[in-house]
Structure 1
Amino acid sequence: MHLIDRVYGEVTIDDPDVVALIACPTFQRLQGIKQAGPSAFAFPFKKVTRLEHSLGVYLLLRRLGADRREQVAGLLHDISHTAFSHAVDFIVSSAEQDHHEGLKPEFLERPDLVAALKTLGFKPAEFYDDSIYPLLERPLPWLCADRLDYFFRDGLACGAATPESVARFLAHLTVIDRTIVFTNAEVAREATAAYALMNREWWASPTEAYIYNEFADALREGLRIGLIQKDDLLSDDASVMAILESSTNPLISEKLDRIVRFRPERLEGYSPRVIPKVRWLDPPVQVVGSYQKLSELS
């Protein structure tokens, strides 16, 4: 399997059992789910899909020397994302805004994934909990493959990073004691600043809060009137959007129009019901024989 990846360039996946897992319909569903959720309708340049990101996490884990099981965990870490990614978290809110995590067993136990994982020598239950894979997943503000890959992809899409800066970040990553660290403090500072910019201007910005809350209102109304069923959210963005756009409900039409034709002046005096999750980095940096958090370095 050959592909040109926006972060890692020209790459080959030559493990036939991994390629077979990628080809599963349950995995391919992620091609229809934008990482940016409903924000992609307001900003069409936000084209990153959950499939692209999942492949990227796999590639980064492989680059960092993770074992085969953790690489597969990287492929599957977003398998249960509902349509429009985190949009559902603005209806069923939690501190971590990770509703999809609770759905993971349901997706992993689908027959196509069960069969593909069996060929790989794994069982679905090995991938229920990403926290057992320290290169794949770490809590904020640590580095992990998931966090780094979505930062690189979103950063490139939104202009907060350049191909040159991403290449520099990648060149200064290593693993010490199962922990991803930067090998250079200045590069770590540059990455931290770019990540903060992404959080401030995009992920947790007033604009994103507006778009996600307005879209949540449309979804909530669709569920209330029976236009949308909960199982519909297990499909993809286009399927759910087609249902919403078919409605004559004035509230749904108004909310969708405010997103698709977003204008900055709509933010004046706007008070979101749910605040987007805030993200930040305090990455570990390599020191002699070990590492220290960037904030602890003089």
Structure 2
Amino acid sequence: MAQTNKLKIFNDPIYGFIGTPNELIFNLIAHPYFQRLRRISQMGLSFLVYPGAHHTRFHHALGSMHLMRQAIRVLRFKKVEITEDEEIGLLAAILLHDIGHGPFSHGLEHVLVLDTNHEAISLHFIEYLNKEFNGALDTAISIFKGEHSKKFLNQLVSSQLDMDRLDYLKRDSFYTGVTEGNISSERMITMLNVYDNELVVEEKGIYSVEKFLMARRFMYWQVYLHKTSLVAEQLLIKVIHRAKQLLEEGEALVSSSPLLFFLKHDGSINFDDETLNLFSQLDDVDILAALKSWQSHSDFVLSKLSTMLLDRNLLHIKIKNKPVDDQLILSKKDWVKSNYKINDKQLEYFVFSGIISNRAYNEKHQNINILRKNGKLTDVAKASDHLNLKALSQTVTKHYVCYPKESV
């Protein structure tokens, strides 16, 4: 394992120089499991819309750790006790919080591994690394799982105002060029405090929280749930489903060994050390290489969908505020069946509908509390004189339908 014999720094376009605070953090970053994050796209297929969005989970993890170091300094300055062991635990937990992401991040979550989310897989990775590092991550695991007696430690890692969100909003805004999503992470951090074991925001920071929540809402509808990103992601999911179906039918598919393993497992997967190691070999490269191979496959559906993604010749998509008219779907299916010469089951790969929803703020789960000057706590949605914040706590649902452009 690599050893730190001199200062190690990363030059980050968002924050400037990010240093490695101790040997454990350096060795975690140097580990092959973490280095894999260089090959996992932070924003899935969003680069098909925003050409600059090629940053990775590696960038985001380092940025989140950098912000965590700032938060620790601010809270200690305000006389909040954070021991050296807790500091190491916080830094390790935030550094590794996304290590369980699969190819294209959220794009294929619950698709390659059906019943396990990336947080659960991250925990498997952290527990494995803890054994390798002789228990050095015990505190990190306690914080990550929300079992530490100091509740605010977990809130710094996972809450509605954690270092994860403070980094990805600012970072994704920078790489996409969508300036409306830009937030002042540093300003937000200076407003943090701890009251009754809970992470809170001082009253003078209320407008920064408003800006943060509004930016989050904007980024979700304009970027994360952009219609082109959405249809591309759905096509990628359809590709994987078709590949799994063909394998079940005995068809031969060219792919990497790790990808083939997960394509053949449709049920529950036990993440033992061997499976975890296979997952650690899986990244965006496996999927892209498979698509390049599958575009020449004899199966029309797999070939067509793979080519669509590689050439960015995607399906047409409409997003509406109300359910899609059944007659529209039927007419599009008739067109596809006639022109593509495929059966009814295969139609679902080219004409389909779905629902997307977003809620920028959840008042009922890990809400953001404002610490008033009189010592009282008030939920940010009630404390704000901005009526929009109350609206942001409502779930907004939209409906979409996808079908070939030629049928328009």
| TM-score between both structures, scaled by the size of structure 1 | 0.81
Correspondence list, 1:1-298, <5 A: 1-65=8-72, 67-89=87-109, 91=111, 99-110=117-128, 114-116=131-133, 118=134, 120=136, 122=138, 126=142, 129=145, 133-138=154-159, 142-161=160-179, 165-166=183-184, 169-170=187-188, 172-177=190-195, 178-179=198-199, 181=201, 183-226=204-247, 227=253, 228-230=260-262, 234=280, 235-247=282-294, 248=297, 249-262=299-312, 266-268=316-318, 275-276=355-356, 278-281=358-361, 283-288=368-373, 289=375, 291-297=377-383, 298=385
How far the C-alpha of 1:152 sits from its partner, in A, is 1.4
Q: Describe the superposition over 1:167-225 as per-residue Cα deviations: whole angstroms up to 9, x where unpaired.
A: 66446542323415364222222222211110111112333321211110011112222
CA distance in 1, matches of 2:285, 2:9: 27
Distance in 1, Cα, partners of 2:352 & 2:113: 13
Query: Structure 1 residues 240 and 152 mapped into 2: Cα distance closer, same or farther (>3 Å)?
Result: same
Once structures 1 and 2 are overlaid, which stretch shifts more, 119-128 or 205-214? 119-128
Residue identity matched to 2:121: L
CA contact (8 A) 1:215 1:259 kept: yes
**Aligned partner letter, 1:78:** D
Query: What amino acid does structure 2 have at the position aligned with 1:294?
Result: V
Distance 1:275 1:40, change over 3 A: farther
Structure (1 or 2) with the larger CA radius of gyration? 2
Question: Secondary structure of the residue that 1:222 maps to in structure 2?
Answer: helix
Which segments of 5 or more consecutive residues in structure 1 lack a partner in the other structure? none
Structure 2 CA distance for partners of 1:155 and 1:87, relative to 1, 3 Å: same
8 Å contact 1:114–1:123 — kept in the other structure? no
Question: Residue 125 of structure 2: SS of its match in structure 1?
Answer: helix
Letter in 2 for 1:82: G
Q: Tell me: CA distance 1:8–1:222, structure 2 relative to 1, closer, same or farther (3 Å).
A: same
Q: What amino acid sits opposite 2:360 in the alignment?
A: W
Distance 2:191 2:312 in 1: 38
Identity of aligned residues (%): 21
Where 2:157 maps in the other structure, the secondary structure is coil
Deviations, residues 13-35 of structure 1 (Å, cap 9, x unaligned): 23122101110001111110001
SS, match of residue 122 in structure 2: helix
How high is the TM-score relative to the length of structure 2?
0.61
Query: Residue 246 of structure 1: SS of its match in structure 2?
Result: helix
**Contact 1:181–1:286 (Cα < 8 Å) also in 2:** yes
For structure 2, list consecutive stretches of 5 or more residues without a partner in the other structure. Answer: 1-7, 73-81, 149-153, 248-252, 254-259, 263-274, 325-350, 363-367, 386-408
Helix, strand or coil: the match of 2:231? Answer: helix
- Displacement after TM superposition at 1:155 (Å): 1.7
Q: Does 169-178 or 261-270 show the bigger shift? A: 261-270
Q: 1:264 to 1:257 in 2, by over 3 A?
A: closer
In the TM superposition, residue 124 of structure 1 has moved relative to its aligned partner by 8.1
Q: Residues 244 and 73 (structure 1 numbering): CA distance in 2 closer, same or farther, change over 3 Å? A: same
* Higher relative contact order (Cα pairs below 8 Å, separated by 6+ residues): 1
Aligned CA RMSD, in angstroms, stands at 3.4
Comparing 258-267 with 190-199, greater Cα deviation is found at 258-267
Conserved 8 A contact 2:68-2:91: yes
CA–CA distance in 1 between the matches of 2:50 and 2:303?
19
**Displacement after TM superposition at 1:12 (Å):** 1.6
